[in-house]
A and B are shown apart, each in its own frame.
Chain A
């Protein structure tokens, strides 16, 4: 793939334009029922990429990202129900609210490291779930409907939600790519790999991690809002369900953490498993677990890790080529 390096930015940009075009055209030739499934797939994919961004690009392991799925959904539902505003117009608010919440908890959770940090966010998710469950104004345990969408035409709601979900998926692939190859991406990678050395080369480690955490969590919140908008109802037990975390972990680990391609594969595997085995009850969960264990044993870097190392294919990796390798290769073949 090194031969592709100089033209890769063009290819990636072309692929982004193509995917956006396809996304725009999809509602015209895909029935509404299938659109709903695609919305779900895209939203779950966005959850997974949000976690992958934190774990594989920022170096923050959180086991509580369901917190932001729930916060994103609740902030949208409450804002729309209270003000009567069109939820499609105020959707970015769920990003802002989730990001702000993430920013507010960083002074506390960043005092903790590794497993303690991971669990602390999970604990906060449970606290928020219990808080909402006990407040009638917030819908209590039975949750909230999205009132504004009742008067809208079903097809308009489905198409609009689909566009948001499609945008999430495109940002999950190409947005992540452009972040990872940027100056910010280099700073994040340095901090992820070695915080001490990152400080020693002039990177403000705390603010870099802060920015990564806020960005990733805000995105998860936005995806949570889109997901729950498509089902018109949110309740605390579902929105703050730790099982969301299990799904994100499964998709990212089976596909390959720290890669863009991995979670695409992971999401496909997850939904195929669900389509084939969801009727088998507990066996389905055991199969998911077995598949995850199997992949981890064979390749800790996931399915995409195998593809990358065996076939040497790297489509959307953030590798910066030095441009120094060409003369050396020539020298090696000459000698």
Chain B
């Protein structure tokens, strides 16, 4: 099966800092790729390049067989890319419902049924009781839920999730995992997450990156046990292959 989204040789530097160094990966429909790495490893920058907010200096991004490396952000959304932001970025003066309604309205060219989509997404993400509250006055956790709700309402083919489990209780993490599992069959999901047990419960494969380079890739269990990953996270000094 051909991948829905693939990235080849993605490279980006901000001055001396390398946020992506020749990164390549591909994700197919029904598949979830997890991305882990320490703070500043370049995870969110990779998302910004996938979503079109930041241009890569080298490399290609292909969505459904089309090269979207130079496509604008809104064009990528219309082609089926949906993202959440690590730091919630709602439309602050609009209500939660209007935030999701806007996503349902402008992410597709055909009209009709937006209100129903918005309502059902709010119910699924546990925001129904806060639907008519301005997003700017929602507490942080609800704003994080709203990030997910807005992304789902886009009905994307590729869903980019950026640390949506952080700060949730165990019960809420379980709900979130169930929700993402339910979405997964129709989607290619790329999920950046520090809550590794949530990620391991959904991801088929995990890529670990540090300083913009891939240091490990494999099943969740393989990556979590990989010496390079342990070194980066635990500071364990092991004799590992050089990384850059």
Residues in chain A within 8 A of chain B (CB atoms): 183, 186-187, 189-190, 192-194, 196-205, 258, 319-325, 328
A-B pairs under 8 A by CB, number? 107
Contact indicator B93/A324 (Cβ below 8 Å): no
Known: A186-B102, A197-B89, A324-B123. 17 other contacts (CB 8 A): A189-B91, A189-B94, A190-B91, A194-B91, A200-B82, A200-B85, A201-B106, A202-B154, A203-B74, A258-B93, A319-B95, A319-B98, A321-B132, A322-B119, A324-B128, A325-B131, A328-B129
Q: A199-B77, A324-B122, A324-B131 are in contact. Are A194 and B89 (CB under 8 A)?
A: yes
Complex interface bits, B68-87 against A, C-beta within 8 A gives 1, otherwise 0: 00001110011000110100
Chain A nearest CB from B63 CB (Å) reads: 14
Q: For the complex, is B53 an interface residue (Cβ under 8 Å from A)? A: yes
Q: Which among B51, B94, B101, B119 has the highest number of chain A CB atoms within 10 Å?
A: B94
Contact indicator B83/A203 (Cβ below 8 Å): no
Chain B nearest CB from A114 CB (Å) reads: 17
Closest residue of B by beta carbon distance from A199: B73
Which residues on B sit within 8 Å (CB–CB) of A201?
Answer: 74, 77, 102-103, 106-107, 150, 154
Chain A nearest CB from B4 CB (Å) reads: 18
Q: For the complex, is B90 an interface residue (Cβ under 8 Å from A)? A: yes
Contact indicator B132/A199 (Cβ below 8 Å): no
Closest residue of B by beta carbon distance from A324: B131
Contact indicator B94/A193 (Cβ below 8 Å): yes
- Tell me how many residues of B have a C-beta within 8 Å of chain A: 39
Bound Cα distance from A328 to B131, whole angstroms: 10
Out of B91, B93, B108, B132, name the residue touching A197 (CB < 8 Å): B91
Bound Cα distance from A189 to B78, whole angstroms: 19
Which residues on B sit within 8 Å (CB–CB) of A324?
Answer: 97, 119, 122-123, 128-129, 131-132
Closest residue of A by beta carbon distance from B111: A183
Which residues on A sit within 8 Å (CB–CB) of B96?
Answer: 322
Bound Cα distance from A172 to B119, whole angstroms: 32
Contact indicator A205/B92 (Cβ below 8 Å): no
Contact indicator A204/B74 (Cβ below 8 Å): yes
Contact indicator B106/A322 (Cβ below 8 Å): no
Contact indicator B89/A196 (Cβ below 8 Å): yes
Bound Cα distance from A323 to B123, whole angstroms: 12
Which residues on B sit within 8 Å (CB–CB) of A258?
Answer: 93
Chain B nearest CB from A192 CB (Å) reads: 8
Which residues on B sit within 8 Å (CB–CB) of A325?
Answer: 131-132
